[in-house]
Structure 1
Amino acid sequence: MARIVISENVSVDGVVEVGDGFDRGDWYARIGVADREAWAKLEYDEALGAAALLLGRRTYEWFVAQGWPSRSGGWADRLRELPKYVVAGGTDPDRWANTTVLTGPVADAVAALKRDIAGEIVLYGSGRLARALLAADLVDELRLVTYPFVVGAGERLFGGTDAVRPLCLAESRTVGEGLVLLTYRPA
């Protein structure tokens, strides 16, 4: 049985997406070289440990628009070879190798993936999908790379919730010189 792992970049105040306005966004460009290199290694290592990727439509489209299907290098090669599952209609799975579009209710489709795949299914980005999986109690681990910025506005990973969801801190460590990886599991 697979484990669903949400892997997010988040500001100190919980923002995961700022929309198209890069006056508040593009945190990666604002961190130092040591942080960028450490973050890239962290992401590459995570991809090496994954059995599959899970993406929402907007995150899938972002990866395609950024040229990931044809990029070179270890991380890009690994993402290309991994099975990718996209939750959303209207997505063209032929734009990135090994992509399957999931159909039906999200919770049911992801629960079926958990039963059918062994290993980690890593969810990149996809804030709305992450919130839906959290609400359906399908998430086994949260990995939050916290950037040293207070953004003030934007989409947050944790919006309104129907219940308190206790978490247990499994790991915390510095990544580079200024990022922090916080790993939580359901309590």
Structure 2
Amino acid sequence: MRKIIVSSFITLDGVVEAPGGDETPHPHGGWQAQYRSADGGKYKADELAAVDTLLLGRVTYDTFSAYWPTQTGEAFADRINRYPKYVVSGTLQKTDWYNTHILRDVARDVATLKETDGGDILVYGSATLVKALLHNNLIDELRLMVFPISIGGGLKIFDDNRELKKFELKHSQVMDNGAFILEYKPIK
């Protein structure tokens, strides 16, 4: 069975954001850029090289499909453009990005995708999708790059829904910029 691996940049107060910081109108958007580091970049490149499929929410898909098809470079762009991409959306009707497929139902379609042949599946960003994956117990590994900053609110992957989820620490690493990489395995 394939594993679903969620990878997120997150603040100490639980806010998630893409490296560009332009997906929400937050007054402190772009906070992640000030913490870029060589060891963080290597971790992200190795993470992408270890999977062969991407799973995205519609908002992340829109951002990625507007940027990545015009980029090149083996570490990120070539892989992202080549890999099969699955976008979960109830509204998207068609895709123009190479090797992209639409899934409609998180619980049913993602569970079916996990049963197919292939390597592990990586979820970048996609906060709404991650919430649904957590709720449906479809995540096999949660990788958080935790940055030493608090921005007072924003997009989060853990809702205040009082749903108990437990995790076991699989790996931790301190980066030279003060951020932590924390890899967790959900306890089911």
TM-score between the two structures when normalised by the length of structure 1: 0.89
Structure with greater proportional helix content: 1
1:44-75 deviations in whole A, cap 9, x for unaligned?
A: 1111111200000000111123x211201121
1:123-167 deviations in whole A, cap 9, x for unaligned?
A: 110111101011101110100011111011102110123531111
Aligned-partner SS, 1:184 = strand
| Count of residue pairs brought into register by the alignment | 181
Q: From the superposition, tell whether residues 159 and 37 of structure 1 become closer, same or farther in structure 2 (CA, over 3 Å).
A: same
2:139 alignment partner in structure 1:
139
| Partner Cα distance (2:117, 2:59) in 1 | 24
| Partner Cα distance (2:32, 2:152) in 1 | 17
Q: From the superposition, tell whether residues 91 and 41 of structure 1 become closer, same or farther in structure 2 (CA, over 3 Å).
A: farther
> Are residues 1:90 and 2:92 paired?
yes
CA drift of 1:93 comes to 1.8
Percent identity between the two aligned chains:
39
CA drift of 1:3 comes to 0.5
Show structure 1 runs of 5+ residues with no match. Answer: none
TM-score between the two structures when normalised by the length of structure 2: 0.89
After TM superposition, what 4+ stretches of structure 1 lie above 4 angstroms from structure 2? none
Asked which structure has the greater RCO (Cα within 8 Å, sep 6+), the reply is 1
Structure with greater proportional strand content: 1
Show structure 2 runs of 5+ residues with no match. Answer: none
Amino acid at match of 1:99: T
After TM superposition, the structure 1 = structure 2 runs for residues 1-187 of structure 1, keeping only pairs within 5 Å, are 1-17=1-17, 20-21=24-25, 23-31=27-35, 35-65=36-66, 67-74=67-74, 75-88=76-89, 89-90=91-92, 92-94=94-96, 96-103=97-104, 105-161=105-161, 163-187=163-187
| Partner Cα distance (1:148, 1:111) in 2 | 34
Check conservation: 1:9, 1:144, Cα contact below 8 A.
yes
